[in-house]
Structure 1
Amino acid sequence: MINIISAIGSIGTFIMALFYFVSVSVQLYQLKISFLPALGFNQILLEREKDQLNIMNSATEEHHHKDYIKLYNLGGGAAKKIAIEVLLGNDKVIQKKYVNILPSKEGYMLPINKNVYEELERTIENNGYEADLNVRMTYYHNVSRKQQEVILKGQIDRFNTYNNKEIYDLQFI
């Protein structure tokens, strides 16, 4: 009889150890996720007045001409050795930029060159809302030694129209 009770106790201890192992594994996985970077852009408005196209970042209050978009790291860990390529289609690189490190909760002002402006204007003139513009970002982080890659597709939505200007919303999805 004592052997049966001892066997049941041993099985119970083994099951408790399994639950503890699963619990610790889940907590370690959640901790790992909290150190992953999450790169993305803020809300970008395109203002077209006559033949002039201006970029307005919603995070800034300035109203003069800007030629940058703001890249943010909203994740918990730093992204390192970031290579940012603005692509026309899937493979034609029209702009390339490197950033050494982008800490968590920080931003980087990515300058926009003439080729990107021309593609945005061409998309708006053709009443197209899906630009042939992609952003490919490759980076490293502390959790994994492998290079990570993110590809975002550019999309333009009509935001508002006034008598003398039109406003569009540029999103990278």
Structure 2
Amino acid sequence: ILITRDHNQLQLKNTGIDSESEQDYMKLYNLGGGAAKNIKIEIYIGSEDVLQEKYVNILPSKEGYLLPINKDVFTEIENTIQNNGYQSDLNVKITYKHNVSRKTQELHLNGKIDSFNTYDEKSVYELQFFDKKQYN
């Protein structure tokens, strides 16, 4: 996910989506190998300050889900960029039932923002989410 700042306005750009229009969502792909259902997505700061919750019934393997991003999430991204932070306090928790094994799966991700490129009036950053277990 690329984030651009053009004249102090942030905009998301999902690199897998060919669109010139403004994007205020992230696209989730192939969750649970295409066998995920009863999906709950929480975006939060730290460990308890939930900014946004979404529920998705099923996410088939050949389709993606457009996760809308609200103003609070954009504010956290902006704060991280202004503080020159590369690891944000933005976290995502995804809980889903696997359609085949019937087990509940839980995934914890942490957002990292890297400076990608800077132009005269425009800055570009990359937003990536990593498994929190890898970086703790």
TM-score, normalized by the shorter chain, greater than 0.5: yes
Residue 102 (structure 1) aligned with residue 59 (structure 2): yes
Q: Structure 1 stretches of 5 or more lacking a match?
A: 1-43
Q: State the Cα RMSD in Å.
A: 1.2
- Whether 1:135 aligns to 2:92 is yes
TM-score scaled to structure 2, two decimals? 0.91
**Which whole-Å CA distance do the structure 1 matches of 2:31 and 2:105 have between them?**
16
Once superposed, which parts of structure 1, at least 4 consecutive aligned residues long, lie more than 4 Å away? none
The answer to whether structure 1 residue 154 and structure 2 residue 120 are counterparts is no
Aligned residues: 130
CA contact under 8 A between 2:31 and 2:59: conserved in structure 1? no
Contact 2:32 2:98 in 1 (8 A): no
Q: Is the 8 A contact 1:74 1:106 kept in 2?
A: no
1:64 aligns with 2:30: no
Say if 2:59 and 2:65, in contact at 8 Å, map to a contact too: yes
Structure with more relative contact order (C-alpha pairs < 8 Å, separation 6 or more) = 2
CA drift at 1:124: 0.2
**Larger displacement relative to structure 2 (103-112 or 72-81):** 72-81
- Structure of higher CA gyration radius: 1
The answer (yes or no) to whether the contact 1:54–1:66 under 8 Å persists in 2 is yes
Distance in 1 of aligned mates of 2:95 and 2:49: 16
Tell me the residue number matched to 1:120.
Answer: 77
Give the Å deviation of 1:56: 0.5
Corresponding residue for residue 134 of structure 2: none
SS at match of 1:118: helix
Aligned partner letter, 2:58 = I
Which 5+ residue runs of structure 2 have no aligned equivalent? Answer: 131-136
Higher strand share: 2
Q: Do residues 169 (structure 1) and 126 (structure 2) align?
A: yes
TM-score (normalizing by structure 1)? 0.72
d(CA) in 2 for partners of 1:63, 1:78: 31
Q: Secondary structure at the match of 1:66?
A: coil
Name which of 49, 52, 56 aligns with 1:92. 49
Following superposition, the deviation at residue 50 of structure 1 comes to: 1.6
